Amino acid sequence: MTRPPGEAEAGPPLPAQRGELRVKAPGKVNLYLHVVGRRPDGYHFLDSLVAFVEAGDEIAVGAAEALSLVVEGPYAGALEADDDNLVFRAARLLGAEFEVSQGAAITLTKNLPVAAGLGGGSSDAAATLGALASLWGIDADEAVIMRLAAELGADVPVCRLGATAHMSGIGEVLAPAPALPPCGVVLVNPGKPLSTPTVFRGRHGPFSATEPVTGKMKSVEELVRELQRRRNDLTASACDQLPEIRNVLKALEDDPACLLARLSGSGPTCFGIYADVAPSRQAANRIARAHASWWVQPTWFIESCR
Ligand code: C5P
């Protein structure tokens, strides 16, 4: 476990006030992301080491006759609580699969920026599946929940798993990954959304090899060494779409305590790896002071949110 002492860990659904169930929807970081092929339908085959951070959204569900969704939190304004919302789609899909006649009052607390490369929407959908399965008393086979997760989006299965994993296929093939060593993380987002399909479409060049990390990484230096041998293959395309990403990467790379800086997913959020949580907090302060319009969040990797 890489959380600092005294900090609460994400965990299973907890009974909350007002008879609600609350679950965390942690942010997802692609520590590396190789694009290894392309399907005829345009989806890409990936090889990625995925980890989850303590920073994230939250889903609360309460008993109700009809389905409803309220979005609150710092990024609520960036999201429509309409029928297309991934949280709503997850709720409807689960309800239809298990012929649920009840509704639910769902509250999404949106702390993560939207369309950010942090899997926020996917993590919200995965958390909704879990919270509503508890609320509705569904004792489902995990394989069924994973099938529903894959129907909702390529990143939803790994978010349902909620633990460090190797991801392949288009995102639905998950394999255990070595535990990460303790370290600090800084997430930096330039404050503009980026469309995932556009970034995938703009990727050029040969496909990469599949190169999963096999050995245990005992120190942050070993983690950084393993990551330096790998890349995020969407970086050039994401920077073409949003050149400010180059400034974000440079700010992290120029930071004296940053050990590695990289784009997460299709961006535009980038992450920096730090030796510990304390230097990552100091770095976040430095970067936020210099770039007032950026979202800068110090955090750390969690082992699992389930
Ligand atoms: O599955 P999801 O809706 O999250 O994917 C969003 C888009 O990202 C897809 O429509 C596709 O353009 C792109 N994508 C891809 N290959 C993946 C995952 C996503 O090309 N493995």
Q: How confident is the model at residue 62 (pLDDT cuts 50, 70, 90)?
A: very high
Distance 201 CA to ligand 1 centre (A): 10
pLDDT for 267-294, tens place per residue? Answer: 999 999 999 999 999 999 999 999 999 9
Paired sense of beta strands 103-109 and 301-302, if any: unpaired
pLDDT of residue 263: 98
pLDDT of residue 14: 47
Residues in the chain: 306
pLDDT of residue 78: 85
Distance 47 CA to ligand 1 centre (A): 14
pLDDT at residue 7 tops 50: no
The two three-digit tokens of residue 236, written as one number: 């050039």
- Residue 266 CA: nearest ligand 1 atom is 8
pLDDT for 13-36, tens place per residue? Answer: 544 445 689 999 999 999 999 999
**Residue type, position 223, single letter:** L
Distance 155 CA to ligand 1 centre (A): 8
For residue 109, count other CB atoms closer than 10 A to its CB.
21
Name the residue of 30, 34, 43, 156 whose CB sits within 8 Å of the most ligand 1 atoms, as the mutation to test its pocket. 43
pLDDT of residue 100: 97
Q: What are the φ/ψ torsions at residue 305 (nearest 5 degrees)?
A: -110, 5
Cα angle 44, 45, 46; round to 5 = 110
Q: How confident is the model at residue 8 (pLDDT cuts 50, 70, 90)?
A: very low
Q: How buried is residue 49: exposed, middle or buried, by Cβ count under 10 Å (0-12/13-18/19+)? A: buried
- Residue 154 CA: nearest ligand 1 atom is 1
pLDDT at residue 10 tops 90: no
Note the pTM of the prediction, 2 decimals: 0.93
Rounded distance, CA 292 to CA 172, Å? 37
Mean pLDDT of 244-261: 98
Rounded distance, CA 102 to CA 5, Å? 41
User: Residue with the nearest Cα to atom 13 of ligand 1?
Assistant: 197
pLDDT for 257-269, tens place per residue? Answer: 999 999 999 999 9
H helices of 32-141, in order, are: 86-97, 120-135
Q: How buried is residue 244: exposed, middle or buried, by Cβ count under 10 Å (0-12/13-18/19+)? A: middle
pLDDT at residue 230 tops 80: yes
pLDDT at residue 45 tops 50: yes
pLDDT of residue 306: 73
pLDDT for 64-123, tens place per residue? Answer: 999 999 999 999 988 877 777 999 999 999 999 999 999 999 999 999 999 999 999 999
Of residues 83, 63, 68, the one with CA closest to residue 20: 63
| Helix, strand, coil share (%) of the chain residues, nearest 5 | 30, 30, 40
pLDDT of residue 19: 60
pLDDT of residue 304: 79
How far CA 102 is from CA of 63, 64, 94, in Å, comes to 8, 7, 12
Mean pLDDT of 217-239: 98
pLDDT for 153-200, tens place per residue? Answer: 999 999 999 999 999 999 999 999 999 999 999 999 999 999 999 999
User: Residue with the nearest Cα to atom 2 of ligand 1?
Assistant: 153
**Residue type, position 62, single letter:** G
Contact assessment for residue 232 and residue 37, using Cβ atoms and an 8 Å cutoff = no
